[in-house]
A and B are shown apart, each in its own frame.
Chain A
């Protein structure tokens, strides 16, 4: 059974640009959640999608957005990149709620220069 796949693995962008990250969940999983990990702030919850709807959102500015497609694949977009957006972005999939186990992807490491 394939795991959670995140693409790309590494990305370098310039300040002011926008970026789109992709996450393909485990087959049958309908929930995809996104997290940002930085050395200073640790892991922080960005948002969660379930059946194409954003079900919950963390405390991030509107520059961070996402969507989920009918096949449960999810994309995360960050517009007008700032140096502080440099981080490891992780996604995790699960069958439904926090009562179900989560499987994490390997992450996308974004560097903003």
Chain B
């Protein structure tokens, strides 16, 4: 059983489309992170959430603590958004981290 589940695993979109990636978790958390990993390995932390909603440019992340669910939205998607998006949670019982398996996004021009 995975503590963090992401969907979909793979996603292909046309440039300009609105994209949603979902993350569900089963542990008590202190914070949820959305990470972006481009080919070559480098990881960038996009958001850290413990409640509500955050927006950065075309990216929006929301979290529902009661439902243990988070979504990452990309508006007006662009080919440069092509990457693997990973959801990670930090637990509230000792700084353990669990990761989703990632969503591989390809945006076609």
Mask of B22-53 contacts with A, CB within 8 angstroms, 1/0: 00000001110101000001111100101000
Nearest-neighbor residue (CB-CB) of B86 within chain A: A43
Describe B's contact surface by its main secondary structure.
Answer: strand
Interface extent on B, as a size class? 20 to 34
Give chain A residues whose Cβ lies under 8 Å from the Cβ of B102: 42-43
Q: Is the beta-carbon distance between B45 and A103 smaller than 8 angstroms? A: yes
Check A90–B30 contact: CB distance below 8 A. Answer: no
Residues in A lying within 8 Å of B, measured CB to CB: 33, 35, 37, 42-45, 48, 55-56, 58, 88, 90, 92, 97-104, 106-107, 109
B94 within 8 A of A: yes
Kindly identify which residue among A37, A88, A102 contacts B33, using a CB–CB cutoff of 8 Å.
A102
Knowing A43-B88, A109-B41, say if A33 contacts B97 (CB, 8 Å). yes
Chain B residue nearest to A41 (CB atoms) is B101
User: Knowing A42-B101, A43-B86, A43-B88 touch, does A98 contact B30 (C-beta < 8 A)?
Assistant: yes
Contact across chains for B31 and A99 when beta carbons are under 8 A apart: yes
CB < 8 Å: which of A43, A98, A109 contacts B99?
Answer: A43
CB distance from A1 to the nearest CB of B (A): 15
- Interface flag for B7 (CB, 8 Å): no
Interface 1/0 per residue, B83-98 and A, CB below 8 Å: 0001010110011111
- Known interface pairs A42-B102, A98-B30; A90-B43 also in contact (CB < 8 Å): yes
Cβ distance A12 to chain B, nearest Cβ, rounded Å: 16
